[in-house]
């Protein structure tokens, strides 16, 4: 499904494949020989998403691009099932396993791996060839990598990375009513979305530009 959002339409390279049940919304660009599999959602809310050549986004992954933090995926990247990538920069040849979570402003150097349910926090930088083990958390620039049980050590670094400011544009301690009013208003732009023609089962999913 191809959707125009905020006046921007997806573009799919003719050699790419987008599954009939995948969703591309807004300024999403799919590179040559890339594969977007069933149930994946790529939504460029007010920024953009780029998926590089021969990269594969597997079933039910959710990818978001933002104005301050576009989602850029290099060539030859695997994004595993149920992964969540939000405003990240992912270098060439990275491997993101099932349930991996990448938050806005993070940067993964080429050849990095984030294994099953690994987390890369906001504004975190992984050097090339890094590995985040199963269920572990990478935090900071340069990244420190901790097992999930080390909450105090993680928080000592994470607090200064400004998660609420980076993700929601508000200061820590902002009431939920204000934070969610801003979010509801932001997502209200989808009321003006336009469903585009294009795509046939077994084809490349179509393209619009």
Tell me the domain boundaries of the chain: 2-196
Over the stretch 56-92, which tens digit does the pLDDT of each residue have? 999 999 999 999 999 999 999 999 999 999 999 999 9
Q: Is residue 200 predicted with pLDDT exceeding 70?
A: no
pTM of the model: 0.91
Of all residues in the chain, the percent with pLDDT exceeding 70 is: 94
In b/e form, how buried is each residue of 127-144, taking b as 16+ CB within 10 angstroms?
A: eeebebeeebbbbbeebe
CA dist 43 and 85 (Å) reads 11
Confidence of residue 52 (pLDDT cuts 50, 70, 90): very high
Q: Which two tokens stand for residue 44?
A: 């460029």
Q: Which two tokens stand for residue 101?
A: 């979570």
pLDDT at 42: 98
Decide which of 2.160.10.10, 3.40.1260.10, 3.30.70.100, 3.40.190.10 is the CATH code for 2-196. Answer: 2.160.10.10
């Amino acid at each position: 499904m191809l959707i125009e959002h905020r006046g921007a339409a997806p573009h799919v390279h003719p050699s790419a494949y987008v599954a009939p049940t995948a969703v591309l919304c807004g300024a999403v660009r799919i590179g040559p020989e890339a594969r977007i599999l069933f149930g994946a959602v790529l939504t460029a809310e007010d920024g953009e998403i780029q998926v590089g050549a021969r990269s594969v986004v597997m079933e039910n992954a959710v990818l978001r691009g933002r104005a301050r933090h576009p989602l850029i995926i290099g060539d030859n990247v695997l994004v595993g099932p149920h992964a969540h990538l939000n405003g990240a920069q992912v270098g060439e040849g990275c491997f993101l396993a099932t349930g991996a979570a990448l938050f806005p402003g993070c940067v993964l150097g080429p050849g990095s791996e984030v294994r099953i349910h690994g987390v890369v926090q906001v504004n975190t930088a992984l050097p090339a060839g890094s590995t985040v083990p199963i269920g572990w958390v990478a935090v900071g620039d340069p990244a420190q990598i901790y097992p999930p049980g080390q909450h105090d050590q993680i928080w000592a670094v994470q607090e200064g990375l400004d998660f609420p400011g980076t993700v929601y544009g508000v200061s820590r301690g902002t009431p939920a009513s204000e934070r969610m009013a801003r979010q509801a208003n932001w997502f209200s732009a989808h009321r003006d979305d336009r469903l585009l023609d294009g795509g046939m089962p077994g084809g490349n999913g179509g393209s619009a530009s």
